[in-house]
Amino acid sequence: MSVTEALFILVVVVVTALAFDFTNGFHDTANAMATSIATGALKPKAAVALSAVLNLVGAFLSIEVALTVSNKILSIQDSSGAPIEGLMGVPILTIVFAGLVGGILWNLTTWLLGLPSSSSHALFGGLIGSAIAALGFGGVKWDGVISSILLPSLFAPLVAGLVAGVGTWIIYKLVTKIPESRRDSGYRWGQIGSASLVSLAHGTNDAQKTMGVITLSLIAYGSWTSTDSIPLWVKVSCAVAIAAGTWIGGWRVIRTLGKGLTEIHSPQGMAAETASAVIILSSSHLGMALSTTQVATGSILGSGVGKRGAEVRWSVAGRMVIAWVLTLPAAGLVGAICWFLANAIGGALGVAVVFALLVAAAAGMYFRSRRTAINPDNVNSEWEGGLAVTETAASPAEKVAASSLTERN
Amino acid sequence: MEILAKAFSALWQVLAVGMLLGVGIPALFSIGMRSLEHGRVPAPAGTTNASTDGTMAGPAGKAGAIVCFGVCILAVLFGIVVIIFGKQLFS
C-alpha cells in the first residue's frame, strides 16, 4: 500500500471519529438538560448553550489520557495503549473506522426514534463487531464486556432510579408547605447547578474517549509515538466537536426524556440531576463506570416514581430498555459488515466506499427526521403517545384558544 | 463468579454514596428552602426581592438557609474537583 493511501485512510478515520464525537454531543444533551428544559428552569436554547460551553470546558479539563479505553473489552492494543504488533498501520485503522461507523449509525438511529442510549456502548459495540470480523471471537475480552458493559447497564437505571426516587420523596415531604411560586424558583437554581455538573462530567469523560481513539490512530499510522500525551489539535478538535454537537441539541431525545417518561417539576428535576451527578462521579471512581445516559434515564424515572400521584409511562421506558439491549448487537453487526466491506474492496477505496455509505445513511436519517421535526419551539409540547407533535398540540396556549373557539361556535 | 463479586461490591459502594449525597444534598437544599419560610416578615415597600405575597425571609430563616445552600455549593465545588482530579485522588 502506498503512503498516500495510508494517509487517506488516517484522514477518513479522524473525520469519522470527530463525526462520532459530534453525535455523542447531541445524543447526550438530554442527559443533563432535559429536566431543566421540561420544567422551564432554562429556555431550550439557553440550556443547550450552557451545556455546550460546559462540555467544551470539560473536554479541556481532562488531564487523563484515555488511550487504553478499549483495553478492557478488546485485544487490539498492548497495556501501554499502542497497537499490538500484527495490527500496526492500516489493519487497526480499518477496525477502528468500521467500529466508529457502527457507533455513529446506532446513535443516529436511536436519535431518530427519540430514544436515549449510551454513546459509549454504541462505540464499544461497533468496535466489538469490527474486531470479531477482523480477528475472530478471540479479539474480544468477554469478561470485560460483562463487567464493564453488561452488568453496569443492568445496575445503572436501578441505582439511579432508587436514589432519585428516595430523593424526590424526601423533598416533597419537606416542601409541601412552601407556596408553589417560591418553591419552583428555588429549585430551579438547584436544578441548574446539578445539571451543569452532569454536563461538565460528560465533556470530560466522553470527549476523552474520542481523543483516545484519534491518538491511537495517529500512533498506528506512525505520526505520533507518545502513549501518555495527546496532540493539542486532537484535544481542541474533539472538544469543539462534542460542544458543537451539544449546542445543536438532540431535541428528539430531550423531548422523550423531559416529557415522555413523566411530567417533571422543578423539585423532581433537582432530585434527578443531583442523583445523576453523584452516581456518575462516584461510579467512575469506585471501579464500575456507569453510562451517563442510563443513569440520567433511571434518575428521571425514579423522580416520577418518588412523587405521589405522578404518572410514569412505562411503555416509553420499555422502548428504551429494548434499545439498550440492542445497542451492542446492532452496532456490532454494522461494525462487522463495514469491516468486511472495507476489507473485501481493500485499501483506501474500501474505506472510501464505506464512508460514502455512512454519509448517505446519515443524510437519509436526517431527511427522515424532518417529517416529524422536533425543535426548541415544540420540544415541550404535550406528550400524546409518541414523539411526534400533532398540529393541535403545537402549544398549550394555541390549544386553549382552539377549544374556546369551538365552544363559542 | 469473581466478576459478579467485584461488581456487587462496587454496586453497594455506589449505592451508599448515592444515598448519602444524592439524597442528602437535595434534602439539605430542601431544608434551606423551608428555612426561608420560617418567620417570614412583611417586606417594606419597594423591596426588590419580596415574594408575590408581600413577605420576605426573616433574618433567622435567612441565616439557616445560607448555611444549607452554602453546604450545597461546597458539594458542587467538590464535584468539580472530583471531575478534574478524581483519578489522582482516588486511585
Cβ-Cβ contacts under 8 Å, A279 against chain B: 14, 17-18, 22
Average confidence (pLDDT) over B76-91: 86
Provide the grid cell at A157.
Answer: 437505571
Tell whether the model's pLDDT for residue A213 goes beyond 90: yes
Provide the grid cell at A108.
Answer: 443516529
Number of Cβ within 10 Å of residue A359's Cβ equals: 11
| Interchain contact, A278 vs B80, CB within 8 Å | no
Q: Which of residues 12-51 of B touch A (CB under 8 A)?
A: 13-15, 17-19, 21-23, 25-27, 29-31, 33-34, 36-37, 51
Query: DSSP string spanning A56-67?
Result: HHHHHH--S--T
Residue B6 lies in a domain: no
Number of Cβ within 10 Å of residue A250's Cβ equals: 28
Domain count of the fold of chain B: 1
This prediction's pTM:
0.91
| Interchain contact, B86 vs A285, CB within 8 Å | yes
Provide the grid cell at A11.
Answer: 484522514
Burial per residue of B24-55, b for 16 or more beta-carbon CB atoms within 10 angstroms, e otherwise = bbbbbbbbbbbbbbeebeebeeeeeeebeeeb
**Structure confidence at residue A54 as a pLDDT band (50, 70, 90):** very high
Q: What pLDDT does residue B25 have?
A: 96
In this prediction, does ipTM exceed 0.95?
Answer: no
Tell whether the model's pLDDT for residue B64 goes beyond 80: yes
Domain count of the fold of chain A: 1
Number of Cβ within 10 Å of residue A45's Cβ equals: 14
Higher pLDDT, A254 or A68: A254
Average confidence (pLDDT) over B13-36: 94
| Interchain contact, A170 vs B26, CB within 8 Å | yes
8 Å CB contact between A255 and A387: yes
Residue B62 lies in a domain: yes
Residue A52 lies in a domain: yes
Average confidence (pLDDT) over A302-311: 92
| Interchain contact, B18 vs A160, CB within 8 Å | yes
**Structure confidence at residue A409 as a pLDDT band (50, 70, 90):** very low
Q: Which domain holds residue B59?
A: 19-41+52-91
C-alpha atoms less than 13 angstroms from C-alpha of B86 in its C-beta half-sphere: 23
| Closest to A166 (Cα-Cα) out of B39, B66, B26, B34 | B26
| Interchain contact, A167 vs B23, CB within 8 Å | yes
8 Å CB contact between A397 and A272: no
Cβ-Cβ contacts under 8 Å, A64 against chain B: 87
Provide the grid cell at B85.
Answer: 482530579
Q: Which helix (H) or strand (E) is B55 found in, with range?
A: strand B55-56
CA distance B45 to A164: 41
Provide the grid cell at A233.
Answer: 489539535
Burial per residue of A184-200, b for 16 or more beta-carbon CB atoms within 10 angstroms, e otherwise = bebbbebbbbbbbbbbb
| Closest to B3 (Cα-Cα) out of A282, A128, A140, A142 | A142
Chain A to chain B, count of Cβ pairs less than 8 Å apart? 143
Q: What pLDDT does residue B50 have?
A: 65
Q: What is the mean pLDDT of chain A?
A: 90
Q: What pLDDT does residue A71 have?
A: 86
| Closest to A89 (Cα-Cα) out of A207, A17, A2, A15 | A2
Q: What pLDDT does residue A1 have?
A: 65
Cell 416529524 belongs to residue: A372
Q: What is the per-residue pLDDT across A224-281, written as a single tens digit (0 to 9) for each?
A: 988 888 999 999 999 999 999 999 989 999 999 999 999 999 999 999 999 999 999 9
Query: How close is the nearest chain B Cα to the Cα of A85, in Å?
Result: 29
8 Å CB contact between A379 and A255: yes
Residue B30 lies in a domain: yes
Residue A393 lies in a domain: no
Of chain A, the percentage scoring pLDDT greater than 70 comes to: 95
Cβ-Cβ contacts under 8 Å, B58 against chain A: none
Residue B80 lies in a domain: yes
Q: Which of residues 59-118 of A touch B (CB under 8 A)?
A: 61, 63-64
Three-class secondary structure assignment of B27-49 = HHHHHHHHHHHCCCEECCCCCCC
Q: What is the per-residue pLDDT across A164-192, written as a single tens digit (0 to 9) for each?
A: 999 999 999 998 888 888 888 889 999 99
Q: What pLDDT does residue B91 have?
A: 67
Provide the grid cell at B63.
Answer: 441565616
CA distance A156 to A269: 18
φ, ψ for residue B56, nearest 5 deg: -135, 165
| Closest to A258 (Cα-Cα) out of A297, A219, A290, A210 | A297
3-state secondary structure of A2: coil
Q: What angle do CA A250, A254, A259 make, to 5 degrees?
A: 155
Q: What angle do CA A10, A11, A15 make, to 5 degrees?
A: 120
Q: Which domain holds residue A286?
A: 3-376
Residue B2 lies in a domain: no
Q: What is the per-residue pLDDT across A5-38, written as a single tens digit (0 to 9) for each?
A: 999 999 999 999 999 999 999 999 999 999 999 9
Residue A117 lies in a domain: yes
Tell whether the model's pLDDT for residue A403 goes beyond 70: no
Of A286-300, A340-354, A381-395, B60-74, the range with the lowest mean pLDDT is: A381-395
Cell 445552600 belongs to residue: B69
| Closest to A205 (Cα-Cα) out of A73, A28, A37 | A28
Average confidence (pLDDT) over A72-77: 89
Provide the grid cell at B62.
Answer: 435567612
